[in-house]
């Protein structure tokens, strides 16, 4: 099955592929721009408007699927966008949140960072 992407997604994908350092056993780091927290930010002025995406969220969405609000790095490297190092923590966070609010009766008491 062909993956159909929009021009915008194609454009960001090119930016990411051309501006990153790939360690195939480790982290993939975007090098062209980081925000103050160290997350890769791809910015383009080539579209009809200036626009930017958070690289790790963008790549996760393109390779794995839709992502919630909380996408965590298992490698603690915010510039990394290797999908193997990213965990959609939204569901876990919701569980922990429910636990914190006393609505969680499960036996597992894992602290999720």
* Site of interaction with Zn ion (CB under 5 A): 27, 75, 77, 80, 82, 85
Q: How far is the CB of 6 from Zn ion (least distance, A)?
A: 27
Comparison of 77 and 95: residue with beta carbon closer to Zn ion: 77
Q: How far is the CB of 60 from Zn ion (least distance, A)?
A: 12
Q: Rounded to an integer, what distance in angstroms lies between the CA atom of residue 41 and that of residue 59?
A: 11
DSSP symbols for 35-89: -TTS-BEEEESSSSS-EEEEHHHHHHHHHT----S-EEESS--TTB--GGGEEE-
Q: Which residues contact 14 (CB under 8 A, 6 or more apart)?
A: none
Comparison of 32 and 87: residue with beta carbon closer to Zn ion: 87
Comparison of 27 and 71: residue with beta carbon closer to Zn ion: 27
Q: How far is the CB of 16 from Zn ion (least distance, A)?
A: 14
């Amino acid at each position: 099955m062909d993956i159909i992407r929009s021009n915008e997604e194609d454009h960001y994908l090119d930016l990411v592929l051309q501006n990153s350092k790939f360690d195939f056993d480790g982290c993939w780091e975007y090098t062209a721009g980081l925000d103050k927290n160290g997350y890769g930010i791809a910015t383009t002025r080539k579209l009809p408007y200036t626009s930017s995406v958070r690289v790790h969220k963008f790549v996760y969405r393109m390779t794995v699927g839709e992502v919630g609000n909380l996408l965590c790095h298992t490698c603690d490297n915010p510039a990394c966008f290797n999908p193997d190092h990213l965990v959609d923590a939204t569901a876990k966070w919701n569980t922990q949140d429910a636990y914190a609010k006393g609505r969680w009766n499960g036996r597992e008491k894992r602290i999720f960072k």
